[in-house]
Amino acid sequence: MTGQVNTELLGELKRFGAFDVTACFNCGNCTAVCPLSNGDASFPRRIIRYGQIGDRERLLASKEVWLCYYCGECSDTCPRQAEPGEFMASARRYAIASLDPTGISRLLYTSKLFSVLFLAGLSLLLALILVLQSGAMNLDRADIFAFISFESVHDTGLAAILIALFAMVFGVLRLVWLLPRTGTNPATPPTGQRANPLRRLIAATGKVAAEMATEKRYRTCTEEQQAPWYRSRWFMHWAIMWGFIGLAAATTLDYLLLLLADKVPGQPVPLWHPTRLLGTLTGVLILFGTLRALVSRIKKPEKYSSHSLLSDWLFLWLLLLVTVTGFLVEVALYLPRGAVWAYVLFLVHVVIGMEIVLLFPFTKFAHAVYRPIALLLQELRPTWRTVVRHSASSEV
């Protein structure tokens, strides 16, 4: 893969973070202290060099952009205060923006005015779509879908999911094309692995799934090993991730069970009902992880949280609001009578939930998809690169 020099790259990257790698003299200290550097994964020296020389294609195609967890040890020990950890975070934001075909992600990261107007406009649009199809508030009993119909929520939510999925697919295809086309040559896999590509795929998928489920690599950061698990950043990250997965599972199961039982959605079920328990517990996980992240960014106790873009703040506040309003709506379902505040909160909760879905491909949350793909391709890189090179040779 031949890189083309982009003299504007470093200046463009600075719009996505706070660093000064012009001070870097490539001493290699950052790579030496990084606990995640192993094999052909070089954090963050190689990526910094790509930024310095303006090699945009190689920077975007580097797996290190997605495999870095920003331990912060590189920035703590940098003799020139070049903030290599923040550079890696900026490169990841830049990569997300570059993979987005719409340009929305770039504007969300680089323009505060656009971020505020876009979020306000999106909120208003979603609220209008739902309110225009709304009915009367039933104050005799708690019946949230008497105000905003289940069909309206279902159809609008499905449209939001399809739009987000469409944008995400473009980014994933671009990433899959770029990642295998650069980096060092890996060792040739054993003969048994070459003869059983399906077995290699299954083994690699299992390894990546285990990594995503347990945050094993994240926990190798020195600071993560020293802090209590409930105060560690890896657990904050883990709680938000599994909270989302759990809420998605609870929502899907609840919908399927209602269809099977031919019941009307929105009616209270016992607190010990499996879907209610799953939703409540995973909601607590998201609430804990989000509050921990917000407190960290407010107090700035470490390099990781020393710099935040407006898009980072907006996403965390949206997570907090959707979780809190969700719990309040859950409480309202068990009240003996309906309440105006409960119906308004339900509208707010649904709008924010749909906003989070729509913003998924355009914010830092997109790395929840890009990171496992990067990990999987790293595990499969010998076979994958053989395919890419064969394809390139055929083109020639």
Can you give the pLDDT of all 396 residues of the chain as single tens digits? 455 677 788 889 989 987 887 788 888 888 888 888 776 667 788 888 888 889 988 898 888 898 888 888 888 888 888 888 889 999 999 999 999 989 999 999 999 999 999 999 999 999 999 999 888 887 877 778 788 888 888 899 999 999 999 999 999 999 988 887 654 444 445 444 455 778 888 888 999 999 888 988 888 888 787 878 888 889 999 999 999 899 888 888 877 877 776 666 656 667 777 888 898 999 999 999 999 999 988 888 777 777 888 888 888 999 999 999 999 988 888 888 888 898 899 999 999 999 999 999 999 889 889 999 988 888 786 554 444 444 444 433
**What integer pLDDT is reported at residue 40 of this predicted model?**
63
And the tokens for 92? 């990841």
Give the contacts of 168 (CB within 8 A, at least 6 positions apart).
360, 361, 366, 369
111 contacts 16 by C-beta, under 8 angstroms: no
**What integer pLDDT is reported at residue 284 of this predicted model?**
95
- Distance, in Å, from the CA atom of 91 to the CA atom of 284, rounded to the nearest integer, reads 32
- Report pTM: 0.86
Classify 67 as helix, strand or coil.
Answer: helix
Nearest in space to 65 (alpha carbons), one of 50, 75, 80: 50
Which residue in this structure is represented by tokens 């105060």? 231
- Distance, in Å, from the CA atom of 263 to the CA atom of 286, rounded to the nearest integer, reads 29
**What integer pLDDT is reported at residue 206 of this predicted model?**
92
Classify 88 as helix, strand or coil.
Answer: helix
- Residue range(s) in the chain whose domain bears CATH number 1.10.1060.10: 9-99
**What integer pLDDT is reported at residue 322 of this predicted model?**
93
Tell the CATH topology of 9-99.
Answer: Fumarate Reductase Iron-sulfur Protein; Chain B, domain 2 (1.10.1060)
